[in-house]
Amino acid sequence: MLTLRLFGPPDVRVNGEPMGRLRTRKGLWLLALLALRPGREVERAHLAGVLWPETEESQALTYLRQSLTDLRRALGPEAAQRLRSPSARTLTLDITGADADVALFDACIRRGDPESLERAAALYRGPLLEGCAEEWVLQEREARQQAYLGALEALAAAALAAGDAPAAARRLRLVLSADPMRESACRALMEALAATGDYAAVTQAFRDLRLRLRQEINSEPGGETQALFDRLRADARRRARS
């Protein structure tokens, strides 16, 4: 059984035991690149260029072969069979029956129903390949983080529509802890807090956003956010007078 945990610090296990030691981290990054494209053929030249971007192609392909041999050794004979060469120029990773968090996360996000989004949110333990500073991972990491935050916002909207404003607020605070200047989440949080009658918290959420925007990018909340805050503040004043 191959287990791939790529959210948060990467963790690879074979039959419950940690994968064998690799000579370099490139073997792990190679496995991750293939795991992010499960079952798809990936050109060796592409992998070599991504992993050794400043190296001449012939030498990078040599490094790739060495890392592939190292990775197969570390995985052991059973799991190494999942690393396949459909042609002399391509590699693929078969994750059939494996426990691969990112592949399952991506599938849940594609389905998009509430149950799948709940599963996706639970799978997201932290940034993709946390600790990896390779340039290629940045776009992959950002895409998964945005998918995770979008899932939380969708779940919060569903909770608010169902009348569970506290659950919506909890989801939205998770979003803002990861992306404090995400105005769509701040607006949704203000509405959720208003639904609970906590107008002081609405004001605090707006002030926190405004402070972050000023400090980080010398900007102000957008017109939609300001208009919502003004409306909620007016509602609070009317309620206080009644």
CATH number, domain containing residue 229: 1.25.40.10
Whether 182 is in a domain gets the answer: yes
Q: Give Cα 149 distance to the centre of its chain.
A: 8
- Verify that 93 and 172 share a domain, yes or no: no
Pairing of strands 83-84, 99-100: unpaired
The number of domains in the chain is 2
Whether 32 is in a domain gets the answer: yes
Whether 129 is in a domain gets the answer: no
Look at residue 239 in the predicted model and tell me its pLDDT: 84
Look at residue 57 in the predicted model and tell me its pLDDT: 95
pLDDT tens digits, one per residue of 156-184: 999 999 999 999 999 999 999 999 999 99
Look at residue 240 in the predicted model and tell me its pLDDT: 82
Residues of the chain with pLDDT under 70: none
What residue numbers bound the domain in which 217 lies? Answer: 165-242
Look at residue 81 in the predicted model and tell me its pLDDT: 95
Whether 203 is in a domain gets the answer: yes
Whether 74 is in a domain gets the answer: yes
- The answer to whether 169 and 193 are in contact (CB under 8 A) is yes
**Which of the listed residues 97, 127, 145 is the one where a domain comes to its end?**
97
Look at residue 226 in the predicted model and tell me its pLDDT: 96
**Which of the listed residues 67, 97, 127 is the one where a domain comes to its end?**
97
Whether 214 is in a domain gets the answer: yes
**Which of the listed residues 97, 112, 134 is the one where a domain comes to its end?**
97
Among 242, 154, 239, which Cα is nearest to 194's? 239
